[in-house]
Amino acid sequence: MDEAVAALFGAKTIAVVGLDTRNSRPAYEVAEYLQSVGYRIVPVPVQRPAEEVLGERAYPSLRDIPEHIDLVDVFVRSEHTDAIVDDAIAIGAGAVWLQIGVRNDAAIERARAAGLAATQDRCTKIEHGRHTAGPASR
């Protein structure tokens, strides 16, 4: 198990950046799954402001969240990830996870240099399922 997957399994609270009320979007599907397996989700809708998503209070940015975030799960275009990763570093998040199709090598390196577990172009739902399925998890 690599460092990012270990951070996912060690997390309790996950901020989902790009999560809004559109239940047809990948961010919603992944957040709903993570919530169903026991994670606390903190929505950070960036394009469509919302007061609440999936029964959880939403915040306009990572810096506005008043509690510790273990993992930041990012569903925004690659070109918009620099500020999000910098905010994750600033709030002392434990990990940054850029979803499938989202890449920013420089931001990932900054996160790692700051001591965060970091990965990109991977899905938390897929990785969680991959590491919990099969006879070993029963």
Residue 67: strand, helix, or coil = coil
Q: What's residue 134's pLDDT?
A: 53
pLDDT value at residue 138: 30
Give the Å distances, CA to CA, from 3 to 11, 28, 50, 116, 126.
Answer: 12, 25, 32, 9, 16
Instruction: Provide, rounded to the nearest whole percent, the portion of the chain with pLDDT above 70.
Output: 96
pLDDT digits (tens, 9 = 90+) for 84-126: 999 999 999 999 999 999 999 999 999 999 999 999 999 999 9
The mean pLDDT of the chain is 94
First to last CA, the chain: 18
CA–CA separation, 31 and 15 (whole Å): 9
The answer on pLDDT for 20 being more than 60 is yes
Is the pLDDT at 132 greater than 70? The verdict is yes
Task: Determine phi and psi for 16, rounding to 5 degrees.
Answer: -110, 105
* Sequence spans of domains, the chain: 3-130
Class of domain 3-130: alpha beta
pLDDT (tens digit per residue) in 49-67: 889 999 999 999 999 999 9
Cβ atoms of 44 and 60 closer than 8 Å: yes
Look-up of token digits 């900054």: 110
